[in-house]
Structure 1
């Protein structure tokens, strides 16, 4: 088949305009010689416009997710002491720089290359190309995946703040972007073994693949480094307050904004506007509910509302809804956000007081614990007919698959 013939054949397969006016699926395609040049032009213009819109949407979402780096940097800086601000900002800048090259060189191929069920191809400068199957340029898909990898890497920074050697942190960031995140991503999004379970593991935008994985790595890093000097002294816990809740609040607002690229952008196109709008709705509802739940919980528990914890409550709701934002109802999203907002308070207390792990920004609780929790909630609250949760007439199999995925990536 000649290139021009192939182009028209592809157009015919994609467009309903090539069928008869009744739209019947059984109708035979109209032969090429009976189709006017004008109709061909209309069809190709439609396909070209759709391709351009989908590409713009993915790249715009990638910009929003990239802007989340600013949010993380401000949250971490605000929750830390003034003397460490420059170091924190420097680390956030360099983990994106280092991670970009590492993911381009190695990580992308491991995550999306053809390979075993555990990892893709181990090839430098991978030539993996998903443009044809996704309907967007491969470079657009790569950039979107890159900013996700950067998010996973920067989560670790907060828990290890104020006591990490710069060189060691850079190596940690490279390892996350080049190996650790791509392997877990391959299991779920790259055709790996979790996506091949009898009931596939569902994590739409990364509650576990991105956030929980980053949270567990943050826990390992914080536990290995030990606490900041003066945090646990003579058997007592001494609070080390951050220097600017203003910066932290601004960071949370930026992260909230960025999540509107993180979750809806994971549709990778505007082919289903209802789904995109639905994800916007569930994402926002969970965030708002998380903040309200944390406000009430801290008010009841401590006698007054805690602003810093409420900021983390908003993030907890966002993290928790990321796995099921496409399949839960708006009411389900609010319930998940409310529970995550309560959970984050007790998780922060437990890690700080019982485990004696010093996490200045609560990254382990927000991302690790609430990410795992939100992923499990898909097994209960999913309203999708193809993946019904227990509360919607489904079997326990969905919940089991979610638990397998959470445990596998945590391990």
Structure 2
């Protein structure tokens, strides 16, 4: 095939992937808004758009250079700051399209991280953390695995970001939940938890479908090539991983709770998607089903594990993106085949021994620890400088739509009818 045609087709395919990944932000908006209370819905939606925009600027200025810049060392790259849109001569893919594709991934990771702030953080904290996370945390880990850093040299397998994107965001969310402490009314004095239900289950369901479709850009788009149409194989594994996660979560909730729980089903589908993200290009189709199925079960028990430890995670970042991200990354150490292991070595079940499994465990531990410790340090420093990361109790009870932005996400339902002295505004 003519080189120019290959260049154009690869670029067009990757551009489509970038668009799908960016559209996942719409899924996260609906997921977070639907999973939180009505009095915070407008705030959640608006800050997600703003922080994606801010993360885009940060990635353009610094993040891309730290991740993929030349003159690199084992830690970060050192060129291409304030990326000027330069094209690499004789490349088989537009450099500018690749930049946009990678920018979308950075935006998704910070969106996951900010889920741990939901319903109690100041808007100014979102601003400052987005900048610092985009400079100091995400691009470092992305360089380690994707930009030629030390984990790339060791052969770490993370095709589309179970660790780089999802675990990194989840560990930042964990740091936030610890420092912000639980929402008012989440836990009782005896340690038991109260269910603070999201206000719109239809939103969260549609959100999962949007994310499911967007994930084809996330995973299949990460081939950044049309050569051999391998993206179709990656897409099959992606879909089956999600499907298995949804089915597993349905079954486990039905058995344990006595009824198939809708939020658990939705979380299971997302957990399957997160888990298959690392392995979708390295494993057989049957293994994709196993990986997704196990992720759905892990997610179910993870939610209960963190609640028992009084960790308030409103958007389930830890259970949907964190634990499945760990499992998905480690899974290639078992299931990566000889034919598909274009990075690293085959997994344990395919005669590769423990070598790749060890590399996968090291990558999870190193990236997870760096993301958590770095994010905790950033937030702890912000807390010392600002005095608090959290809105006041009165503002939290009133709702962040009004206290942070001066307007309601649902004005007709939330505003007190001044002509009716008996009208109430519960914010639930």
TM-score norm. by structure 1 comes to: 0.86
CA RMSD between the two structures: 1.4
Aligned partners of 1:106 and 1:179 also within 8 Å: no
Kindly provide the CA deviation profile for residues 153-176 of structure 1, in whole angstroms up to 9, marking residues without a partner as x: 100222221011101011111222
Q: For 2:318 and 2:79, how far apart are their aligned partners in 1?
A: 30
Q: For 2:94 and 2:51, how far apart are their aligned partners in 1?
A: 26
Aligned partners of 1:340 and 1:370 also within 8 Å: yes
Aligned partners of 2:329 and 2:360 also within 8 Å: yes
Kindly provide the CA deviation profile for residues 86-117 of structure 1, in whole angstroms up to 9, marking residues without a partner as x: 11011100111100110000111000112211
Deviation of the 1:234 alpha carbon: 2.0
> What residue in structure 1 maps to residue 251 of structure 2?
296
Q: In the TM superposition, what are the counterparts of 1:316-331 in structure 2 within 5 Å?
A: 316-331=271-286
Q: Answer yes or no: is 1:139 the counterpart of 2:96.
A: yes
* Residue aligned with 1:388, SS: coil
Q: Answer yes or no: is 1:357 the counterpart of 2:314.
A: no
Q: For 2:156 and 2:90, how far apart are their aligned partners in 1?
A: 21
Kindly provide the CA deviation profile for residues 202-241 of structure 1, in whole angstroms up to 9, marking residues without a partner as x: 1000000000111111111111100000001222211100
Identify unmatched segments of 5+ residues in structure 1. Answer: 1-14, 16-45
Aligned partners of 1:117 and 1:191 also within 8 Å: yes
Q: For 1:134 and 1:290, how far apart are their aligned partners in 2?
A: 38
Change (3 A) 1:117 1:134: farther
Change (3 A) 1:244 1:124: same
> What residue in structure 2 maps to residue 100 of structure 1?
56
> What residue in structure 1 maps to residue 73 of structure 2?
116
Alignment partner for residue 336 of structure 2, among 363, 382, 391?
382
Change (3 A) 1:359 1:130: farther
Q: In the TM superposition, what are the counterparts of 1:149-228 in structure 2 within 5 Å?
A: 149-197=106-154, 200-228=155-183
> What residue in structure 2 maps to residue 250 of structure 1?
206
Q: In the TM superposition, what are the counterparts of 1:38-49 in structure 2 within 5 Å?
A: 46-49=2-5
Change (3 A) 1:232 1:259: same
> What residue in structure 2 maps to residue 270 of structure 1?
226
Whose radius of gyration is greater, 1 or 2?
1
Q: For 1:309 and 1:106, how far apart are their aligned partners in 2?
A: 38
Q: Answer yes or no: is 1:83 the counterpart of 2:39.
A: yes
Ranked by relative contact order (alpha carbons within 8 Å, sequence separation 6 or more), the top structure is: 2
Kindly provide the CA deviation profile for residues 337-381 of structure 1, in whole angstroms up to 9, marking residues without a partner as x: 00000000111100111x211011211111111101100000001
Deviation of the 1:119 alpha carbon: 0.7
> What residue in structure 1 maps to residue 235 of structure 2?
280
Aligned residues: 363
Identify unmatched segments of 5+ residues in structure 2. Answer: 370-428
Kindly provide the CA deviation profile for residues 125-144 of structure 1, in whole angstroms up to 9, marking residues without a partner as x: 24696734751121101000
Q: For 1:404 and 1:154, how far apart are their aligned partners in 2?
A: 25
Alignment partner for residue 369 of structure 1, among 312, 317, 323?
323
Aligned partners of 2:35 and 2:197 also within 8 Å: yes
Change (3 A) 1:133 1:407: farther
Change (3 A) 1:328 1:342: same
Change (3 A) 1:128 1:182: farther
Q: For 2:66 and 2:127, how far apart are their aligned partners in 1?
A: 20
Q: For 2:199 and 2:90, how far apart are their aligned partners in 1?
A: 49
Alignment partner for residue 402 of structure 1, among 355, 360, 364?
360
Change (3 A) 1:128 1:390: farther
Alignment partner for residue 292 of structure 2, among 337, 341, 363?
337
Aligned partners of 1:109 and 1:127 also within 8 Å: no
Kindly provide the CA deviation profile for residues 266-298 of structure 1, in whole angstroms up to 9, marking residues without a partner as x: 01110131x211101000000000000000001
* Residue aligned with 1:232, SS: coil
Aligned partners of 1:113 and 1:128 also within 8 Å: no
Q: For 1:126 and 1:97, how far apart are their aligned partners in 2?
A: 16
Q: Answer yes or no: is 1:260 the counterpart of 2:216.
A: yes
Q: In the TM superposition, what are the counterparts of 1:9-88 in structure 2 within 5 Å?
A: 46-88=2-44
